[in-house]
Structure 1
Amino acid sequence: MNHYTEIHPDGTRAYQFVADTAYVRESGTKGEHKAAEYILKEAEKIAAQPGKETYIQTPRMELFQCPDFQEKRAELTICQPYEKSYRVRAYLNGACTPAEGITAPFLFVGKGDDISLSKAKGAVVLVCDPVREDMINKIKDAGAVGFVTVCGTPLDQGEDRTPIQYRRKACDLPGAAIHYLDAVEIVEKEASMCRLNIQQSEISRNSANVAVRILGTEFPEEIVTVTAHYDSVPEGPGAYDNMSGGAMAMEAFLYFAEHRPARTMEFIWFGSEEKGLIGSQNYVKSHENEMGKHVFNLNVDLAGQLLGGNVLGVTADPTVCAALKALMEENQLGVTIKNQVWASDSNTFAWKAVPALTLNRDGFGMHTRHDTVEYISPRALAEGAKTLCTAAAWVANEPELSFEREIPADMKRELEKYFAS
C-alpha cells in the first residue's frame, strides 16, 4: 500500500466540465453527440501536451448502434364506476396492446403480494412502485393482462406531475407508469374497469464511446479501465447522473497523464448507459480479443453533490474489499465499501470476469429535471476524484496485486441473470 499525497484533483476545473455540458444528453440525440465531441476535445488537449505522444494514444470515438423503443401511444382510461383518462407513460421494451387497446377489470394490488395477485386473472393491475422483471413475471404468472405502476410523490406539482418512463423487458405484458396523485384518485374512487392502450416501436440510434489509452511502463500488457457514462435520461440534464462522474474520470486522466502508470490504463466515457448499459456492452464486445488482459475496472456513477457519502460497490472477491479498506484507511479517505453487484457499467466488466467497482455518492434529483449543475459541489468533485485516483493508482502501480481476480460464483449467477433480462 502507498500514501498518494501528490493527488490533488481540481474541483473547480471538474465543476466547469459539468457546467459546460449542462444540457440533456439522451442517447442518440444531438445533445449526446455534442457532449461526446466535447469530451473528445478535452482528452485531445491533454494528449497533445509535449512529450505525451510517446505514451498516450490518440483519443478516439467508437461509434455504435443503440437499439431503443419509441412510445407512440400510452393511454389509460377508467371506464367504471366513472370515466376519466389519465396521463401515463409506457414501459419501453414491453408489449403493445391491440390497436384498439384492452378493456379489462382494474385491480389495485398494493405491493404485489400473493394474496392480492390471486384475484388478478384477466385484469390490469395497479402496483405501488416501479417494477423490475421479477415482479413483472409474477404479475404475468397471476394471469394479469397489463400493469400500471406508481411514480412521483404527493408533493409534486406542474412539470413534476409527468410520469417517469421506465425501460424493462415486460414479458409480453403492456405496462405504464402513472403519477402518485392520479393513482390516489383512482384507488379512492374504487376504479373497477379500465381501457389500456400501449403502442411502441423499436428503433435504432447512433451513439458513441469516447476512449483514450495510456501505455504502462512496466506491465503494458495488463489493462486497468477508468469509466463513467456521459449520457442522461430525457427528463433532465444529468449533472449528478452522471456528468460529474465524467468530470472525475477526466481528472483521473489528467493525473495519470502526468504520473504515467505501471499498467496500461484506458479511460472511457460511455454513451447509452441509461438505455441498459449499451455503451459498455458494446465496448467489451468490440474489445473481446483483449478482455483477458483487463485486470480491473473502476467506474463512477452518481457523483458530485456535497451532502452525501462515497460508496465503493465492489463486484469482485472479498479480498478486493479488504485491500481497498486498508488503502482508504492509509490515505484517510472516508468511504463505505459494499461487496455486491452494482447496477452500473462496472457490471459489464464483472460479467466478463474482470474485477470491478463503482464509486457512488448519495444525491438528489436523479432522473428528474432537478438533476442540474446548481447542486454540484467543486469540493465533492475533488474529494471523489481523489478517492477514484487513489484506488486507480493502487491497481495500476502495485507490482503484485494482492487480491483474488476470480468473480465469486454467486455474483456470476446474478450477473448472468442481470444481462439475460
Structure 2
Amino acid sequence: MVYRYCEKECFPMNGKRMYELLEKMNYVRVGGTEEEKKTAELLQAECASFGLEAKIEEFEIEDGELGECYFEVTEPYQKSYEMRAYKRCASVEAEAEILYVEDALPANLRNAKDKILFINGGLGYDKYETFLKTGAKCIVMGSGSALDRVEDTDIRFGMFRSQMTEKFENRLSALNVRTKDLFEMLVKGAKKAKVKIESKDTTSTSRNVVAYIKGTEKPEEVIALTAHYDSVPDSPGIYDNAAGSAILMELARYFVANPPRYTLCLIWTGSEERGLLGSKAFVKDHEEELKNIQLAVNFDLAGNIAGHEFSIVTGPEELKGYLEVQAKEKGWAVSVSQDTYSSDGLPFADNGIPAVSIGRFGAPDMSFIHDRRDQIQFVSADAMEITAVRALDFVDRMDKAVMMPFERTMPDNMKTKIDEYFRRNKK
C-alpha cells in the first residue's frame, strides 16, 4: 500500500528497515524488567551498526511484588474469581460484606466502612482520597467489557504510584476482576467475599538509551529527539511505541549520514508507561544540559494502517503555526494543536523547553492500545513512512534554521496545563 502524499518523498526514510526493527521488538517490554534491558541493548547495537555510539543510562524506579492473592464470593453462593491485585497497594486478608457504590457519590458511600466496594470505572487520583476516607477493606474494579472473551483479553494491570499515595499515612487495597465477572456478581447478588492480597514495595532498574550527533555549526545548541521503547504489561506495544522508536532510529541513521548543524540528542526512554519515568530521569540527570536544548521532538504512536496524523505543540503559538504552514506547503493532512500530550515531551516542557509530539493516532476499532491486541499486523511500513517523512522534514527544517522560528519560552496557558497534568494545582 502506498499512501497518497508519501510516494515520492519517503526515500530517506526506509519503511522496510523500520518494520524490521519492529519485528525485533515484537514482545512485551515492561519498564524495569529483563525484557526492557534486552531491548535497550538491542537499540544500542542497532545504533552501533551504522556508527553511532549510544550509552545506556540506568535509573531506579519504584516497583512492587505480589504474593498470595485471591478473591472469593462466599454468600449467597461460593465461587473464586480470577483477579489482579494492584502493586504497591495495602496488603489485606479479610471476609467482608460487598457494597456496590456505583460512581461513588456521597450517598453511595454512607455505609462503606469495612466493606468490599464494587465500583464503576477505574481508580484515579480524584477518587483515591475519597475511598481512603471511607475505611473500606478493598476496592474492586472491572477490567474490559462484559462481552469480552476470556481467551482474547487480560485483566488490567494496576500499580499505585507514589504521587497518588505519598501524602497519605495509609494506602488502599485494590484489585481488578474481569468486567464480565463483576457483572455476574451483581446479577447473582453477591453479598460477602473473602479477599487476600500480599503486597510488597520494591524498586527496579530501568534504562534510557542516549546518543549524541554533534552539530557542525552550532554544537552548543541542542535539539532533543525522544521515543519510549517500553510497553505496558501483556502488550507487545507495536503501535505504542515500538513504531516511534523505529522512526527515531531511522532519523538517527539519516543524520549520521547527513551531519546536522545543531547537536542532536537522541533518547530512547524507558518506563514511559510507568509515568514518563525515563524522560523525568533524563531531565533530572542532565540538568546542566537543559539550558542548551532549544526544542524537544517526541515520537509516540505511529504505524497504524488505519489512522490519522497529528502534531501536538506544548509551547508557543508560533510553533503551532509553523507546523500548520509546513502541512499546507506539503499538502499533508495533519491535525495540529497546542496542548499537553501524555508522553516524554512533557518533562522537557516542564523545564521551559518547547516540545512537539509527532505521530499517528489509530482509527477506532482498527487499532488497539495498552492491551494484547496492539500487534504488528495492524502496522505497516508505508504507514510508518508517513510519520517518519513528516518528522524528518520538521527536524531538518529546524536544523537548517539560521534562527529558531519561535521563542524558547513556555506561554502561560501551557504552564497552566502542565501544572494540571502534574496535578500541582491539587491540594
TM-score with structure 2 setting the length = 0.87
Q: Does 1:41 align with 2:48?
A: no
Q: In structure 2, give the amino acid aligned to 1:250.
A: M
Q: 1:175 to 1:338 in 2, by over 3 A?
A: farther
Paired position in structure 1 for 2:3: none
Distance 1:142 1:395 in 2: 53
| Structure 1 residues 19-59: Cα deviation after superposition (integer angstroms, max 9, x where no partner) | 122122222333222221221111112226xxxxxxxxx32
Contact conserved, 1:305 with 1:377, CA < 8 A, in 2?
yes
Paired position in structure 2 for 1:126: 118
Deviation at 1:13, TM superposition (A): 1.0
Paired position in structure 2 for 1:55: none
Report the secondary structure of 1:89's partner residue: strand
Q: In structure 1, give the amino acid aligned to 2:155.
A: P
TM-score with structure 1 setting the length = 0.89
Deviation at 1:213, TM superposition (A): 0.8
Q: Does 1:392 align with 2:392?
A: no
Paired position in structure 2 for 1:296: 295
Distance 1:120 1:309 in 2: 45
The worse-fitting range, judged by mean Cα deviation, of 330-339 and 178-187 is 330-339
| Structure 1 residues 105-141: Cα deviation after superposition (integer angstroms, max 9, x where no partner) | 3222223344433443443222222222112223234
Gaps of 5+ in 1: 49-57
Q: Does 1:66 align with 2:66?
A: no
Report the secondary structure of 2:95's partner residue: strand
Contact conserved, 2:340 with 2:418, CA < 8 A, in 1?
no
Contact conserved, 1:95 with 1:174, CA < 8 A, in 2?
yes
Distance 2:195 2:172 in 1: 11
Q: Does 1:162 align with 2:154?
A: yes
Q: In structure 2, give the amino acid aligned to 1:414.
A: E
Distance 1:11 1:353 in 2: 34
Q: 1:157 to 1:247 in 2, by over 3 A?
A: same
Report the secondary structure of 1:413's partner residue: helix
Q: 1:351 to 1:393 in 2, by over 3 A?
A: same
The worse-fitting range, judged by mean Cα deviation, of 289-298 and 313-322 is 313-322
Gaps of 5+ in 2: 1-7, 166-170
| Structure 1 residues 257-290: Cα deviation after superposition (integer angstroms, max 9, x where no partner) | 2332222111111122222222222211111111
Q: Does 1:23 align with 2:18?
A: no
Report the secondary structure of 1:47's partner residue: coil
What RMSD, in angstroms, separates the aligned Cα atoms of the two structures? 2.5
Q: 1:135 to 1:175 in 2, by over 3 A?
A: same
Distance 1:43 1:420 in 2: 42
Contact conserved, 2:10 with 2:389, CA < 8 A, in 1?
no
Distance 1:379 1:348 in 2: 31
Q: 1:68 to 1:418 in 2, by over 3 A?
A: farther
| Structure 1 residues 188-225: Cα deviation after superposition (integer angstroms, max 9, x where no partner) | 12223333322222223233211211112332222111
Number of residue pairs the alignment of both structures matches: 406
The worse-fitting range, judged by mean Cα deviation, of 114-123 and 126-135 is 114-123
Paired position in structure 1 for 2:168: none
Paired position in structure 2 for 1:413: 419
Q: Does 1:182 align with 2:181?
A: yes
Contact conserved, 2:154 with 2:372, CA < 8 A, in 1?
no
1:189-268 to 2 correspondences below 5 Å: 189-268=188-267
Distance 1:212 1:106 in 2: 54
Distance 1:29 1:416 in 2: 26
Q: In structure 2, give the amino acid aligned to 1:117.
A: L
Deviation at 1:184, TM superposition (A): 0.6
Distance 2:223 2:158 in 1: 33
Match of 2:89 among 94, 113, 116: 94
Paired position in structure 2 for 1:381: 384
Identity %: 30
Contact conserved, 1:68 with 1:275, CA < 8 A, in 2?
no
Distance 1:112 1:272 in 2: 31
The worse-fitting range, judged by mean Cα deviation, of 154-163 and 377-386 is 154-163
Distance 1:368 1:38 in 2: 23
Contact conserved, 1:7 with 1:255, CA < 8 A, in 2?
no
Paired position in structure 2 for 1:349: 348
